[in-house]
Each structure stands twice: as C-alpha cells, then as structure tokens.
C-alpha cells in the first residue's frame, strides 16, 4: 500500500499543492488566484478567483478532437427508442435548450427546477443551465406533488422543465397532474413550465404557464449561446436530500471544485480514458446521475450511456446485451440491482460478450458479501465498491485502482480516498477509534473540492447539521457507523440518525412519519429502517390509532393499511411507501417522551434491543413484538 499511502498523505498534508496539480485537468478561462481559502471555517472555498464553466468543460472543449465521437447514447426499453448524439450534436442540442431557457427569462444565478424522466432532454437541460450560469435543481421524477412543492418553495425557480410523462416497468406516469398539484400547493409560482412532449400522456396545454418545448427548439435551431464564465465558488446546482427532519436539505455544489474533483476521480478511481464508454445505471434525480451519468464522463471525454428502464425488462439479460452492443468499458450500478439480477437465469449473463467491460463499480448502499462474490465470479472482472453521499458528490471510500490496485476486501467499500481526511470517532468522546472499534465516520476540515459548500439558503443549518456533532472538534459527520481494520479498510454498519437507504434511495423516516401522521386515523407513528435481503433496507411503520376499536376487524385493518400506504404515495411517492404498517396500542418511549426507534428496529430485525433503563413502559416493546409476529416483519 506504499504508493496509495503516500498519495493520500500528500493530499491531506499539502492540499494546496496536491489540488493545484489536479486543477490542470480542466479549462480555466481566468486562472485562479488562491487554491484554498480557509478564512471562514467550516466553509472552504476552492480555486478562488478562477473562472470556468461546467458545460464548456463537458462539451465545448472536446469539439476540436472528438466532435464526431458519441457523447451520449440513450436507450429506453420502455419506449423502444434509442438515440446517439456525437459531441457536436450534443453541443447543438444544449445551445437550443439554452436559447429556449433564455427566451423564457432564465439568466445567470436563476434556479431551474428539472422534473424529468431519463430522457436526453434532461441532459440538455442540466448542461444548458450550466452554460447560462443558472443553477439547476433536479427532482426525481418519482416524487409526489407535496415533495415537489416543498422544493419549488425552497429553490424558488424561474422555470420548471418537465415532460408529459415518465415510464417504468411498462407503466406510464403522467407528470402533468403532479406538476399542477405541486404548483397549486406551492407559494412560489414560476412564470413558465417548459414541457417536453413524449406523447405518452394526454395532451394538456390549457394552463397559461405551460410552454411546449418543440416549437421553441425549432425557433432557436441554429442559435449559439455563449458560456457564462463563473467564479469557481458560484453554485452549479442544488440537489435536495432527505434529513432527520421533514424539511429536505438543499445541498449546494460549486463549479470549479466539482469539475476538478470529477476529472481526477475518472482517472484515479474509475480509470476512465477519453473514448471509453461508461454506463451508469442510476437516475439523473440522484447524485450518482449528476456526477457519473453526466458531468464526470463528459468532462473526461467519454461516451456516456443513459438508460430508461429496469434491469429485468424485457428480461434479466438486457444490461449484459447493452455491454456487448455498445462495447461498454465501465459500468456503475447499485447492489440492489445486482441482487435482482442474481435471481435471473445465469445463462442470460453468459450469452453476452462482455470482453469490452473492464470494471464494474458499485455504490449507493452497503454491498453484501454473497452478492459481491457472485458478481465477481460471474464476470471475472474487477468489482470495485465505493462509498459516498449526496453531500460529498464523489467517492470518499474506494479502491483507487488508478493510484494503486489494492485488493478488494469483501464487505468493505475500500480505503479513504485522496483528499478526504477520514477518521472513525467515538460518538461520546470524539476520540479516534482503535482498529476494529465501531465509530462514526467523520471528515476533517477542509472538505476536498467537489463536496457540498453549504445548505441552500441556510448556512446555519450546514454548520449545525454537519459540523456540530463531535464535541470541541471541527469534524464533518457522515452520520454513518463503521469499523476500520489495521490496513485502513472501512466497513459501513448503518446510520446513526433517522435516514434509511432503500435500494439506493435515501429517505428520511421523519418525512414518512409526517405523511402518515396526516391521516385522520393516526394518533402517533414511528418509522424505522430494517435490513432487507433485496433492497438493503425497507421502512416499517408502527402506528397508534385514534379509534382502535373501529379498526379491530381484520378487513378494516387491511383497508386502513392500504389507505395509509396510499397516503405516503401521494405525499412522498411510491419509493417512500413502508413495506408494512403495523398497528400497536403504544410505542416504546423514554420517560422524557423520546421514541426508542433503535429498539423498534432491533426487534424488527430479530435482535436484542438491549438494556433500556429509561423506557417509560416496557410493555410497549411487547406490543411491537406481537405486531411483528401477527403481521410478519415485512
């Protein structure tokens, strides 16, 4: 590990020198004056005074050498449509989209909320925002109207870009009613909603704010929109992530630091080379989609594959056929997808020629050893796990094969990545944990380039949420438990707070609780995340009813459970739906009234909840046990 350790040591002890070298990977219209400004901790400003543009670095600068190379390959197994865009064609589409946005009043510093499925126009819209100096905020197309409304009110966009519909698993999801409801709920009213018409849902252009994209695109077909050169620390985007309260946090990303971090990661972590093809099976609504479907591959001059569909439609061999057909070199997905594929006919994998594939990358949730062993043996290729968060924007734990090809340790995403001063700390004392001792994963100040710079509109929340949990020390908390071995490999053990990870989707249990509490039948509710062999975690809900006798009959309870699930669907979307809603007479609490969520989760997973000397009524634990026994854990 000599080369890795020296590389990492230099990045921590001499960050200015280290990142000054890495900054040469991107184009600076104006050179930066200072590599790192630490004058206002815990905030850090990278490449101060430098002016650059993410769209220029992702597209424009490649036109001289690779204008006719494919930049974007779009495949939809939902609609049967496949499109390819060279760098020249992508450049033209981005300019058209930017001109359309500009005609609708979008200017530098404005927010543009993007509520789109996995279609090429989502890429055009994000890069058009970057070109104009506008700040995009992408909202996952599966989110329900109340969640969308909350993000509209927080970001206050000048424009919303949406589509008539999305599609998944053969089912069409009509977006227009969701946008209509969100706008009715939201206090902020953007003047325009730009709609991409896929002709999947009934046409509704009656609303005065709705503008159809295609006629405007034709109007600006040959327009060139110059790039806005932004100071390195201006915001590039806001991406909302669930928190421990019902109000989502808007993670703010800068421009220059993000571009440099992604460019470096493509060499050191992903070993991507210009001309390679990379398939990241995520969604543009999540940070993996931002970083490794769009920005990083394009900045590095790769071809990126954008996929609309599931891993088993039309069958469980579709992804492997895509590897063969498009000569994919790098693939990036989540462990949940592999657990789904593991259940398919093994012959489906073996039928495809996977000789082009060099490495499979995994992230989004802990990778279990059986799945890791299965896919490693099945592919006969390196399988590289990595761990990061919406907040960091790129991996903080990984085997950095571009630095040194260390062995992968099953169950561990790897060792600390260069730039991250990562330590495990005792939750109570803040002391560094000994090898093998459970602790909270923390990062030292300053965070490296590309990490979040603040919470949108709320610097205080950035400090209080992330930098205040370790006493008397300036440390960023990831809110994840882990253990580290003698060689530095870290294993993730789960969250310290009330955020759960369902198939790579990060959900706040408090958000789900608030949705369930809005139902007239519910008096109290507790939601916990429990281990699941397929999805990693699922949400389980335990509710105390206002009128338990009314729902005593089994059929009434079943109907209520379905109604409660539908309530969550309407407010948060289907991804937040609890696997089960259990009804109990009381919830376990401390004498001060704090819900004992960890004890509930332990019971749901068949574990001992431990000694609970402060519990108000021990019989509440038996209520949970009985509900789990009667209804099944999931």
- Look up the CATH number of the domain holding residue 347: 3.40.50.12780
- Looking at 394, 422, 450, the residue that finishes a domain is 422
Residue 618 has pLDDT above 50, yes or no: yes
| pLDDT confidence bin for 629, thresholds 50/70/90 | confident
Residue 434 has pLDDT above 70, yes or no: yes
Q: Give the C-alpha separation, 177 to 250, whole Å.
A: 25
The CATH code of the domain that includes 590 is 3.30.300.30
Mean pLDDT score, 566-589:
88
Q: What is the pTM of this model?
A: 0.84
* 611 located within any domain: yes
* 313 located within any domain: yes
pLDDT in tens, 485-515: 999 999 987 777 667 777 767 677 777 887 8
Q: What is the pLDDT of residue 340?
A: 83
Q: Give the C-alpha separation, 466 to 462, whole Å.
A: 6
Residue 248 has pLDDT above 90, yes or no: no
- Looking at 387, 422, 457, the residue that finishes a domain is 422
Residue 343 has pLDDT above 50, yes or no: yes
Same domain, 290 and 180: yes
* 225 located within any domain: yes
Angle at 364 between CA 43 and CA 632, to 5 degrees: 125
Tokens of 422: 């990562």
Listed range (194-198, 276-280, 356-360, 370-374) with the worst mean pLDDT: 370-374
Antiparallel, parallel or unpaired: β 171-174 and 165-168: antiparallel
| pLDDT confidence bin for 369, thresholds 50/70/90 | confident
Is residue 528 a contact partner of residue 601, using CB atoms and an 8 Å limit?
A: yes
* 452 located within any domain: no
Mean pLDDT score, 374-402:
95
Mean pLDDT score, 394-398:
98
pLDDT in tens, 133-173: 999 999 988 788 888 999 999 999 999 999 999 998 899 99
CA pseudo-torsion sign 402, 404, 409, 411:
negative
Listed range (3-12, 370-379, 446-455, 459-468) with the worst mean pLDDT: 370-379
The total number of residues shown for the chain amounts to 634
Antiparallel, parallel or unpaired: β 165-168 and 536-545: unpaired
Mean pLDDT score, 61-76:
98
Whether the ω angle into residue 624 lies within 30 degrees of 0, i.e. cis, is no
| pLDDT confidence bin for 594, thresholds 50/70/90 | low
Residue 225 has pLDDT above 80, yes or no: yes
* 436 located within any domain: no
Q: What is the pLDDT of residue 254?
A: 98
Q: What is the pLDDT of residue 69?
A: 98
Which is higher by pLDDT, 321 or 535? 321
Distances (CA, A) of 478 to 441, 442, 447: 6, 6, 12
Distances (CA, A) of 533 to 170, 340, 342, 414: 25, 10, 12, 22
Mean pLDDT score, 600-604:
88
* 466 located within any domain: no
Q: Give the C-alpha separation, 593 to 34, whole Å.
A: 50
Same domain, 158 and 296: yes
Residue position matching structure tokens 């006719």: 68
For the chain, give the longest Cα–Cα distance: 74
* 175 located within any domain: yes
Same domain, 546 and 416: no
- Looking at 422, 446, 461, the residue that finishes a domain is 422
* 15 located within any domain: yes
Q: Give the C-alpha separation, 334 to 354, whole Å.
A: 19
Highest mean pLDDT among 449-453, 571-575, 589-593: 449-453
Mean pLDDT score, 113-140:
97
| pLDDT confidence bin for 66, thresholds 50/70/90 | very high
What's the number of domains the chain is made of?
A: 2
pLDDT in tens, 90-117: 999 999 999 999 999 999 999 999 999 9
Is residue 36 a contact partner of residue 44, using CB atoms and an 8 Å limit?
A: yes
| pLDDT confidence bin for 562, thresholds 50/70/90 | very high
Tokens of 380: 């006969």
Same domain, 508 and 387: no
Same domain, 381 and 506: no
Domain that holds residue 521: 502-631
Q: What is the pLDDT of residue 548?
A: 86
* DSSP for residue 595: B
pLDDT in tens, 529-544: 888 888 888 899 999 8
| pLDDT confidence bin for 634, thresholds 50/70/90 | very low
Helical spans, DSSP H, in 186-334: 213-219, 256-268, 287-289, 296-299, 318-326
Tokens of 216: 């405007």
* DSSP for residue 414: B
Tokens of 627: 């509900």
Listed range (132-136, 312-316, 339-343, 429-433) with the worst mean pLDDT: 339-343
Highest mean pLDDT among 34-43, 329-338, 515-524: 34-43
Q: Give the C-alpha separation, 410 to 369, whole Å.
A: 5
Same domain, 273 and 154: yes
Mean pLDDT score, 267-273:
98
């Amino acid at each position: 590990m000599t080369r890795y350790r020296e590389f990492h040591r230099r990045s921590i002890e001499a960050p200015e020198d280290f990142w000054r070298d890495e900054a040469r990977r991107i184009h600076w219209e104006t050179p930066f004056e200072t590599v790192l400004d630490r004058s206002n901790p815990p905030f850090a400003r990278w490449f101060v005074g430098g002016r650059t543009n993410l769209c220029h670095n992702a597209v424009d600068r490649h036109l001289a050498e690779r204008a006719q190379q494919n930049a974007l390959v779009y495949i939809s197994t939902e609609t049967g449509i496949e499109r390819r865009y060279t760098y020249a064609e992508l450049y033209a589409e981005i300019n058209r989209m930017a001109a359309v946005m500009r005609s609708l009043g979008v200017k530098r510093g404005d927010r543009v909320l993007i509520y789109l499925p996995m279609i090429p126009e989502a890429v055009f819209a994000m890069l058009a925002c970057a070109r104009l100096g506008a700040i995009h905020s992408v909202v996952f197309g599966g989110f329900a109207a109340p969640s969308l409304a909350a993000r509209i009110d927080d970001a206050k966009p000048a424009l919303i870009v949406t589509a008539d519909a999305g599609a998944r698993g053969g089912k069409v999801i009509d977006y227009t009613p969701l946008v209509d409801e969100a706008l009715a709920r939201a206090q902020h009213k953007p003047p325009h909603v730009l709609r991409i018409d896929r002709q999947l849902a009934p046409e509704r252009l009656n609303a005065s704010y709705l503008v159809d994209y295609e006629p405007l695109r034709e109007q600006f077909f040959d327009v060139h929109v110059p790039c806005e050169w932004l100071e390195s620390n201006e915001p590039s985007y806001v991406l909302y992530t669930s928190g421990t309260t019902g109000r989502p946090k808007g993670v703010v990303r800068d421009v220059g630091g993000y571009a440099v971090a992604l460019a470096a990661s493509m060499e050191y972590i992903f070993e991507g080379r210009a001309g390679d093809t990379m398939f990241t099976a995520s969604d543009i609504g999540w940070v993996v989609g931002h970083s490794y479907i769009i920005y990083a591959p394009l900045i590095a001059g790769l071809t990126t594959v954008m996929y609309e569909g599931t891993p088993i439609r039309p069958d469980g061999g579709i992804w492997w056929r895509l590897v063969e057909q498009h000569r994919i070199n790098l693939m990036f997905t989540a462990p949940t997808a592999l657990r789904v594929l593991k259940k398919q006919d093994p012959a489906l994998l073996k039928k495809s020629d996977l000789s082009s594939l060099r490495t499979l990358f995994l992230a989004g949730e802990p990778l279990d050893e059986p799945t890791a062993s299965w896919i490693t043996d099945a592919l006969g290729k390196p399988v590289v796990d990595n761990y990061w968060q919406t907040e960091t924007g790129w991996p903080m734990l990984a085997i950095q094969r571009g630095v040194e090809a260390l062995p992968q340790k099953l169950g561990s995403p790897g060792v600390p990545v260069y730039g991250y001063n990562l330590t495990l700390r005792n939750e109570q004392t803040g002391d560094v944990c000994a090898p093998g001792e459970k602790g909270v994963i923390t990062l030292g100040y300053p965070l490296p380039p590309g990490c979040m710079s603040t919470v949108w509109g709320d610097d205080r929340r950035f400090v209080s949420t992330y930098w205040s949990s370790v006493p008397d020390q300036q440390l960023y908390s990831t809110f994840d438990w882990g253990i580290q071995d003698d060689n530095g490999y870290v294993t993730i053990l789960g969250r310290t707070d009330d955020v759960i990870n369902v198939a790579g989707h990060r959900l706040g249990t408090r958000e789900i609780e608030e949705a369930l509490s809005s139902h007239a039948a519910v008096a109290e509710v507790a939601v916990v995340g429990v281990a699941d062999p397929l999805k990693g975690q699922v949400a389980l809900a335990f509710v105390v009813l206002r009128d338990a006798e009314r729902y005593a009959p089994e059929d009434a309870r079943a109907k209520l459970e379905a109604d409660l699930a539908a309530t969550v669907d309407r407010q948060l979307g289907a991804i937040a739906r609890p696997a089960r809603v259990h009804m109990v007479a009381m919830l376990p609490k401390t004498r001060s009234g704090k819900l004992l969520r960890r004890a509930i989760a332990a019971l749901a997973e068949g574990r001992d909840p431990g000694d609970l000397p402060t519990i108000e009524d021990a019989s509440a634990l038996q209520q949970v046990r009985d509900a789990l026994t009667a209804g099944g854990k999931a």
